Amino acid sequence: MILLLLTFLAMTPVMAEAQNRMSEALEVLKKFSGVWETRTRIRHEGPPRREFNTQGKATCRQTLEGRYFEFRSQSIPAGQADLQVMTYDVQAGVYRQWVFDSDGYRHQAEGQWDSASSTLRWKGKTADTSFVIEDRWISTDRLEWTLLRTDAEGRKLEAIEGTLIRVKEQ
């Protein structure tokens, strides 16, 4: 019994440290909470080269006891939608992101927060490509983001720029 008590007392500072890191990380993800208007410019390098703009709406809410953030977006007019789930992995010291869209696309990414630039930078790979996403907070109610997708040789395949403007707190 004493050994169990000593083990618990020894673990308490470690558990408190992990809880503090999780709380700090969740504050970053809380920035996504709310209802948003979205604007996006997508450039495919081709062939053929294409560029187009989209607009939409998005909603992000904290879920599953506050450990995850569910970000859902939809184009206007309806036609394209996606689901993004984000959290923080205390053991690995990284943010985690899973994205699924209505066309069947999906990816996983790991992220790092840079408080000096207010940027959450995600990196990931799919079967054929690598990508980097940068979510940069311009203000509390404005997020500007970019995505750069490259092939195995590092050639640019797609570049996306987007803006989120908060229209309602969640």
What's residue 1's pLDDT?
62
Look at 10 and 61; give whichever has higher pLDDT. 61
pLDDT confidence bin for 14, thresholds 50/70/90? low
- Structure confidence at residue 9 as a pLDDT band (50, 70, 90): low
Find how far residue 88's CA is from the centre of its chain: 10
- Give the tens place of pLDDT for each residue, 133-157: 999 999 999 999 999 999 999 999 9
pLDDT at 7: 61
Lowest-pLDDT range of 17-26, 70-79, 131-140: 17-26
| Domain assignment of residue 49, given as a range | 2-168
Q: What is the mean pLDDT of the chain?
A: 90
Q: What is the CATH number of the domain that holds 23?
A: 2.40.128.20
Contact (Cβ atoms closer than 8 angstroms) between residue 42 and residue 7: no
Q: Which residues, at least 6 apart from 7, have a Cβ–Cβ distance to it below 8 Å? A: none
Structure tokens at 123: 């990196």
pLDDT of residue 21: 77
Number of domains in the chain: 1
In whole angstroms, what is the distance from residue 145 CA to residue 167 CA? 17
- Structure confidence at residue 122 as a pLDDT band (50, 70, 90): very high
Alpha carbon of 161 to those of 12, 18, 19, 104, 146: distances in Å?
44, 34, 34, 21, 4
User: Which alpha helices (H) appear in the chain, and where do they start and end?
Assistant: 2-30
Whole-prediction pTM = 0.85
Angstrom CA distances, 104 to 34, 72, 126, stand at: 25, 15, 13
Residues 6+ apart with CB under 8 A from 150: 129, 130, 131, 156, 157
Residue 61 predicted with pLDDT over 70: yes
